[in-house]
Every structure is written in C-alpha cells, then in structure tokens.
Amino acid sequence: MVAYRAGTAIRVPQFLRDVRRVARAFPPCTHVVNACADRYHFAVGLAAALVSGRATLLPSSQAPEMVRQLGSFAPLVIRLTDEEATGNGTPHMRYPCAEARAERTGRAGSAEVPQVDAAQLLAYVFTSGSTGKPLPYRKTFGPLIDCVREQARRLGLSGAARWALLATVPPQHMYGLEASVLLPLASGHALCAERPFYPADIAAALERLPRPRALISTPVHLRALLGSGVTLPAVDLVLCSTAPLAQQLAAETERRFHSRLLEIYGSTETGQIAMRQPTHSVQWRLWPGVSLERNRGATWARGGHIEQPTALQDVLEMTGPDSFMLQGRVSDLVNIAGKRSSLAYLNHQLNSIPGVEDGAFFHVEAREDSPTGIDRVAACVVAPSLDAARLLEALRERIDAVFLPRPLVFVAQLPRNGTGKLPLATLRSLVRETKSVA
C-alpha cells in the first residue's frame, strides 16, 4: 500500500504505473511546478519528474505573479495541475487521470522500483516570504531521504506496522513535503490523497483510515479543530510544525485525541532538524550529525542532511551538544523607546484576550527618518464581539503602552496561507487596503 483515497487503498504497482505514465506525458521541459492539490497526484508528479531527470519547483505561493516569476529562474518550465488552470502565461499540463481506469482493469504491470542517484536534484523549495522576498533552496534526493528516515525512527514509525498519514498541510510546503509525502514513500507507510480543511471533514477522513494512523498538522489548524466542537477520533500520533506550539494547546490536543503530540523544528532552508514532545520538555533534540554554532551574530546550522551551512532566522539557546531552547524569531524582536519585547510575546497576549478569535502583531514599514528602522508595530485582529476601545484596554493590562498597535485593524479573517503563516507583505498590504479603527 502506498496511499489511501477516501479510505480505499492504492497499491505500489498502481503508483509505479502512474509515475511512468506521467513521466511520458511531460512536454519538453527541465523544471516542473507541481501545483497538484491531491496529495497522491502530487506524489506521482514529484516521482515522475525525478525519474525523468526534471527538477520540481515548489514556490511559496501559487499566485499567478509568483508562478510567472519562475520563468526567469527556469525558462523551460511547465505547471502540473489537477485543477482548472488559470491563465497566467505559464505553460501548463493537466494531470492525466487515467489511473482510475487502470485500477478497474486490475492490470499487474511492472512493480520494478526505479533507482535514483542520491546526488540527483529533487526540487527547489522557496521561502514563505514571511520576512521578505521568497528565495529558492536546492534539495537533493539522498539527503532528503536520510532526513525523513531519521524522522520515521524518532516518531516510532520504523517498525513493521504500516501507518496511514493524514495531513492538513499542503505538500508544496517543506514540512508537508517531508512529513506527508517523502516520509511515507521512504518508510513503507501510506499517504492520504485528501487535504481536508474543515474540522468535520478532518474527523471524517481520520475515521476512514485504519490504525495506526497519524495526523500531520499545524498550530493554527489544531486550534480551529479543537475549538470546533466536533467529536475527534482517536489517533496514534499527532505531528505539528510551522510555528511554536503553546504548551496548553499541546496538552489539550493529546487529551482530545488520546495520543502523544510531537513537534518538528525546521525551516525551508534546512528542512527539519530537531524534535520535541512539548508536554514533556521545552528543549529540542537535534538530528544526528546536525550541529549549531554562533557566528557573525547568528546561529548557523550545518552537517547531517543540511547541504550548506545556513543562518537560522531564530534566536536559539544551546543547552547541550545536541539540544537547544527556542527563544523566538530574529525578526520578532521589537525595540521601542528603549523597551524590548517580541512579536511572539505580543501575539500570545493578544490571542489570550477573551473574544479574540485570531490576531497578529507585525512590524510597520519604517519611516525614512526613523533612526532604528522600526518605530512601531501594527496588528490585525479577528474579534467580532469586541470594539477597539475594549480591545486596547485589555491590551494595556497585558503589555507596555509603547507596544500598543498603531494601527489596529479589525478584519473578518487573517490572510493565512496553507500552513497558517502570515507573510509580512500580505499583512502590510491588508493594512493599506483596510480602514483602521485605532
């Protein structure tokens, strides 16, 4: 078994037939933007590009302008999609859905697994743009496979049992690529074609899967799921990443799912490099061979599956040769009128106010005459039962007045991407387009 769709198993011979079929269908190109929403289609497209010598491009967004920009990065590029293609000027190829006919005929076909050189380029992944312009990072096949096999060992997924892995994160994201596609393919487990969004759909999709089963998600998705009132089926593992998970949310997740929750630390640049169980420890344990060191005012990660020394965007405190504590994002630090805080702390206080459903602080674009480059913070908030005066009063009780948001913008929902992140440019654009109330 290699995958499930609506609870029905898809087996390895079918997967290999689909890979060969899609590889043959590619028009002349050197790079493929894999935009498939169905996770099984994505996995087939990824493998088809790999075995045919093409590199996959995974931009941080499927917005037409972002996809068009890839033309200068890779001139011979096509976009593989299983949905209606948008007219963005990029050549596209519709995923050929002949797989259903092949499944019904029951043809055996060849089950020979293609061999891939460990040094072969698999993909370029792009940063999310949450701190600036998205940048590409090269990902080679061998190091990625070594990384996810270590993940399987640490998660307890390296035994004889065959797990079913359901994910709410897109496969185009680094965390989604590693945990929901490469991990099952490299370790003999089954990925799930669906990416359910609504809580009731997530619960129903989990119910259809045999056990042992795991949920791969994010703090934003878990918070919405737990707050929905939907009856949650038991799972054998919950995996979380993309942002630090509050200890209270972690404990509630374990209680409601009758399961353990493990948290991944990583980045687009490095992939996953550490893990912890937040209800047991605040410390993270590094992957074998990975080391951290302070240099030029930053923490650098190197070794193991990391292909080149990389400066991390987080403030880390080393607690041992293979362990550390996370202090926050470098870009989160706020210094106003000689007082210091962090966006993570301000966000925690904002989202702890009764009536706030979602909210985020962020740096305002600095004035040209600002001596520090950052002179104030703004915030967008979803709080339909509150007005600006009541919300600011509640904030004054929790944070220093110099950190009160200017402006404060009320919105119906925050423009989070598929992994729950909020790109800085998107937040700033939202403020420019929306009339502020404070």
Whether 235 contacts 188, CB under 8 Å: no
Rounded to whole angstroms, the Cα distance separating 376 from 363 reads: 7
3-class secondary structure, 387:
coil
Rg for the chain, CA atoms, rounded: 22
Task: Read off the tokens for 352.
Answer: 């702890």
Q: What is the pLDDT along the chain (438 residues), one digit of tens a residue?
A: 999 999 999 999 999 999 999 999 999 999 999 999 999 999 999 999 999 999 999 987 776 667 677 777 888 889 999 987 665 667 889 999 765 444 444 454 567 899 999 999 999 998 755 544 567 899 999 999 999 999 999 999 988 899 999 999 999 999 999 999 999 999 999 999 999 989 999 999 999 999 999 999 998 899 889 989 999 999 999 999 988 888 889 999 999 999 999 999 998 899 999 999 999 999 999 999 999 998 877 899 999 999 889 999 888 989 999 999 988 777 677 777 666 777 877 888 898 899 998 899 998 865 444 444 446 789 999 999 999 999 999 999 888 888 899 889 999 988 887 777 787 878 888 877 775 555
Task: Give the residue among 72, 16, 73 at the shortest CA–CA distance from 47.
Answer: 16
Spell out the residues 6+ positions from residue 253 whose beta carbon is closer than 8 angstroms to its own.
222, 226, 238, 240, 259, 261
CA distances from 149 to 154, 273, 305, 334 (A): 9, 12, 11, 39
Which domains are delineated in the chain? Answer: 3-210+295-319 (3.40.50.12780), 337-433 (3.30.300.30)
Query: Tens digits of per-residue pLDDT, 291-331?
Result: 999 887 789 999 999 988 999 988 898 999 999 998 877 76
pTM of the predicted model as reported, rounded to 2 decimal places = 0.80
- Helix, strand, coil percent content, the chain, rounded in steps of 5: 30, 25, 45
Whether 230 contacts 157, CB under 8 Å: no
Task: Give the residue among 227, 207, 211 at the shortest CA–CA distance from 219.
Answer: 227
CA distances from 391 to 166, 350, 361, 406 (A): 37, 9, 14, 13
3-state secondary structure 17-75: HHHHHHHHHCCCCCEEEECCCCHHHHHHHHHHHHHCCCEEEECCCCCHHHHHHHHHHCC
Rounded to whole angstroms, the Cα distance separating 398 from 214 reads: 37
Query: 201: burial class by Cβ within 10 Å (0-12, 13-18, 19+)?
Result: middle
Rounded to whole angstroms, the Cα distance separating 405 from 386 reads: 16
Task: Give the residue among 251, 316, 247 at the shortest CA–CA distance from 282.
Answer: 247
Spell out the residues 6+ positions from residue 298 whose beta carbon is closer than 8 angstroms to its own.
311, 312, 330
Task: Give the residue among 13, 1, 40 at the shortest CA–CA distance from 113.
Answer: 13
Q: In what order do the strands lie in the sheet with 323-329?
A: 8-10, 3-5, 190-192, 164-167, 213-217, 237-240, 261-267, 271-276, 284-286, 323-329, 314-320
**In which element (H, E) is residue 98 found?**
none
DSSP labels for 257-316? Answer: HTS-EEEEEEETTTEEEEEE-TTT-S-EEEPTT-EEEEETTEEEEESTT-SS-EE-SEEE
Spell out the residues 6+ positions from residue 41 whose beta carbon is closer than 8 angstroms to its own.
82, 95, 193
Task: Read off the tokens for 248.
Answer: 């209270």
Q: How far is CA 339 from the centre of its chain?
A: 33
